[in-house]
Structure 1
Amino acid sequence: MEIRQIRYFLAVQETGSFTKAAEKMFVTQPALSAAVKNLEQELGVELLRRSHKQVTLTPAGRRFRDRAFAILAECNAAKSELMAEQHPRQLRIGVLDTLNTPPVNQLLHEFHTSYPEIELHLHSGNKLALANKMGQNKVDLLLTSLSGEDSSDTKLPLYQERFQLMVSRQHELANRTCVRLSDLHGLPFVLRKNCEVLNEGKRVFLAEQAQPHITCRTDNDSWALTMVRNNLAAAILAETVTEEGTVSIPIVDFGLVRTVACVWRQHSDQETVQTFTAFAAQDSWRGLAKAV
């Protein structure tokens, strides 16, 4: 029994005609008729009742039809699985370089656990670099923070978080339960140039007449965290950012927040993007992240 014979048989039962079935399968009518006849001989039963007006199924043909559909379905499934191994489903995600945080890491971990067959390609960068990658179709989806800029992209807000003061455990403020901006005046500080609320934060500090002593400026959060951990400077980071040997302290009069979101191209019908965003919209992965 050959798959070709089964396909020909199903084409005949669908069209009710050997001629129409041959046209549908792009073969000659004699070749198709011979293949179906050989199938009947192998099975030892007549599957089709032939007449001048129409070809119909015999009782044996009706029983075999259901089996034939199942056989083709299994063959197609096996083919899809083998093709997937050669060409795995992929999702290219651009991750904002300030989002190496437990909630985002948890989202990626839980998604990979739920969909191990989807191969993740992760790209890091600042907001401008990621926007360019999206525009150049180098990434399928972004994990980023939202801003007030207008965009035609589709957005799924995931959670919001406040910004806090991070200091070393040996820092003079380490035992405080909260601080005010005035407490930061003259304090050695590392300025994170990639901070999402950098400009707004400067205005808040000026309004409170608080001026930290900037000892370092960097666009690399790893370097900023190293300076904080070594008690060389303090920094303002999102509340979910963690670093061994440091503590985060709420700033009572610094009310800026960031909204972390999935962003993807409008009208995208990519299956892996739809799978990821549907998963991200659930609450199962969030842990301590505060849903928007």
Structure 2
Amino acid sequence: MTIRHLKIFIEVAGTGNMSQAAEKLFITQPSVSQAIADIERYYQIRLFERFSKKLFITEAGRELLGYARHIVSLFEEMEAVALNRAEVPFLRVGATVTVGTCVIGPVLERLKALRPETETAVMVDNTRVIEEKLVQSELDVALVEGRIKSGELKVEPVVNDQLVLIAGPDHPFYKRKKVQLAELNGQPFILREKGSGTRELFEERMAAEGYTLREKWVCNNSEAIKKAVMGGQGLSVISTLLVEEEIHQGKLASIPIEGCPLHRKFSLVYHRNKYLTEPLKDFMAVCRKQ
């Protein structure tokens, strides 16, 4: 079993087609077929099923794929170091929208003070997208607000956060000291997109009491959400870190929901098989001190 075998397997899994994988790897289709057959024979498992001329990865293949990606990624890191192509340490960091807006900047500033030579690239998206990128080894580490579902990833809660209900000056709730959860049933909401940890937590709390959210507007941009609420388009639930200034200025009001605390933690997430480089260890240490 060689790195070449694993790279071919990863490409076939990504394209679902041996001919396309061959084109991307600049090799012949029979070479791809032979490599897949070699892996199946070596491990005595079937990697793919064929339906309507398309390949679908099996459960055994999916399990092997996670390891293959990490082995290839680690091999390429080793090659880079050995060939002096990794003179500048590089860290690929994922962050969910709230984290990317409020937390990741100070974290990276502290990391830069510790390791000025380390370069970072940051990807900001919702929890589901970040989770997928970690599983596929396209990110080294992430700081997320939502719940991680993949058993391939290690999750460590590190930063406290709280969601708050917000209303604009023209909304009837603006001057209220508190509201009941039942009063939110049927109210128009400006919501984050599906896959967002913020939306998931609030939807779960509403559903637990038998209520549903009335979705008026879906947006993955926190500034747009705040402006929509200030403009009287509806209510929203958002991290308190994102609205401290607007609440202080009276542009928004934060209204407690009686009997419905919305506490959560931002979590460090990385693959269980990830090799922890020194820059990665320092990034994690900085996050734990936030």
**Residues 248-263 of structure 1: matches in 2 within 5 Å?**
248-263=254-269
Look at both structures and tell me which one has the larger radius of gyration over its CA atoms: 1
- Name the SS for the 1:277 alignment partner: helix
- Distance in 1 (CA, whole Å) between partners of 2:112 and 2:277 is 18
Query: Equivalent residue for 2:164?
Result: 164
- Distance in 1 (CA, whole Å) between partners of 2:286 and 2:280 is 10
Query: Equivalent residue for 1:227?
Result: 228
Do 1:163 and 1:250's aligned partners in 2 also have CA atoms closer than 8 Å? no
* TM-score, reference length from structure 1: 0.58
- Distance in 2 (CA, whole Å) between partners of 1:279 and 1:150 is 24
Give the drift of 1:276.
Answer: 0.8
Number of residue-to-residue matches in the alignment: 200
Unpaired runs of at least 5, structure 1: 1-82, 287-292
Query: Equivalent residue for 1:273?
Result: 280
Letter matched to residue 270 of structure 1: T
Query: Equivalent residue for 1:176?
Result: 176
Deviation string for 1:48-90 (max 9, x for gaps)? xxxxxxxxxxxxxxxxxxxxxxxxxxxxxxxxxxx89x94222
**Residues 198-213 of structure 1: matches in 2 within 5 Å?**
198=199, 201-202=202-203, 204-206=205-207, 208=209, 213=214
- Name the SS for the 2:284 alignment partner: helix
Structure 1 pair 87–247 and aligned structure 2 pair: CA distance change class (3 A): farther
Do 1:197 and 1:256's aligned partners in 2 also have CA atoms closer than 8 Å? no
Do 1:162 and 1:257's aligned partners in 2 also have CA atoms closer than 8 Å? yes
Structure 1 pair 201–266 and aligned structure 2 pair: CA distance change class (3 A): same
Do 1:227 and 1:233's aligned partners in 2 also have CA atoms closer than 8 Å? yes
The yes-or-no answer on 1:247 pairing with 2:257 is: no
Structure 1 pair 209–152 and aligned structure 2 pair: CA distance change class (3 A): closer
Do 1:96 and 1:127's aligned partners in 2 also have CA atoms closer than 8 Å? yes
- Distance in 2 (CA, whole Å) between partners of 1:273 and 1:238 is 27
Letter matched to residue 250 of structure 1: P
Letter matched to residue 124 of structure 1: V
Letter matched to residue 263 of structure 1: V
Give the drift of 1:224.
Answer: 2.1
Identity %, equivalent residues? 21
Deviation string for 1:127-153 (max 9, x for gaps)? 232223223322111111352635232
Deviation string for 1:81-122 (max 9, x for gaps)? xx89x9422211011124234344433333334433222211
Query: Equivalent residue for 1:118?
Result: 118
Letter matched to residue 234 of structure 1: L
Name whichever of 141-150 and 273-282 sits farther off. Answer: 141-150
* TM-score, reference length from structure 2: 0.58
Letter matched to residue 273 of structure 1: L
Structure 1 pair 164–115 and aligned structure 2 pair: CA distance change class (3 A): same
Return the structure number with greater helix share.
2
- Distance in 1 (CA, whole Å) between partners of 2:111 and 2:255 is 31
Do 1:101 and 1:240's aligned partners in 2 also have CA atoms closer than 8 Å? no
How large is the Cα RMSD of the aligned pairs?
Answer: 3.0
- Name the SS for the 2:241 alignment partner: coil
- Distance in 1 (CA, whole Å) between partners of 2:177 and 2:104 is 26
Do 1:156 and 1:277's aligned partners in 2 also have CA atoms closer than 8 Å? no
The yes-or-no answer on 1:88 pairing with 2:95 is: no
- Name the SS for the 1:142 alignment partner: strand
- Distance in 1 (CA, whole Å) between partners of 2:288 and 2:201 is 29
Unpaired runs of at least 5, structure 2: 1-83
